[in-house]
Amino acid sequence: MTELTKNPFNFGDPVQGRYYYPRNQLSHTVKQFLENRVHVVLMGPRRFGKTSFVLDLFTQLEKAG
Ligand SMILES: Nc1ncnc2c1ncn2[C@@H]1O[C@H](COP(=O)(O)OP(=O)(O)O)[C@@H](O)[C@H]1O
Ligand SMILES: [Mg+2]
């Protein structure tokens, strides 16, 4: 398949890396809660990006040490 016909999206499973569209405002807010030792529960319908969001947050926190 050429680059043009490849699907740039990934549906179904949690997305990471180049398939993940950053949610900066949300991750900023959630990080502030976690830094203050406030437990956070993510609630939402399935397939709204909860798992992808948490995986990205872990990656960010790991990078930050
Ligand atoms: N930030 C995002 N960037 C790109 N695609 C996303 C994003 N969040 C969710 N998706 C899309 O939604 C689908 C389901 O995401 P997922 O993290 O598994 O949701 P949930 O855990 O809420 O069920 C992914 O396969 C992807 O197609
Ligand atoms: Mg999930």
Per-domain boundaries in the chain: 17-63
State the Cα–Cα distance between residues 13 and 37, nearest whole angstrom: 29
Q: Does the C-beta of 55 come closer than 6 Å to ligand 1? A: no
Phi-psi map region of 62: left, alpha, beta (phi>0 left; psi -120 to 50 alpha): alpha
Is there an atom of ligand 1 within 6 Å of 27 CB?
A: no
Q: Closest residue (by CA) to atom 14 of ligand 1?
A: 47
- Segment 39-57, tens digit of pLDDT: 999 999 999 999 999 999 9
* Banded pLDDT at 4 (limits 50, 70, 90): confident
Best of 52, 54, 56, 60 to mutate for ligand 1, by most ligand atoms within 8 A of CB? 52
The average confidence (pLDDT) of the chain is 93
Alpha helix stretches (DSSP H) within 1-65 = 24-35, 50-63
Mean pLDDT of 24-49: 97
Confidence of residue 59 (pLDDT cuts 50, 70, 90): very high
- Residue 9: the pLDDT is 86
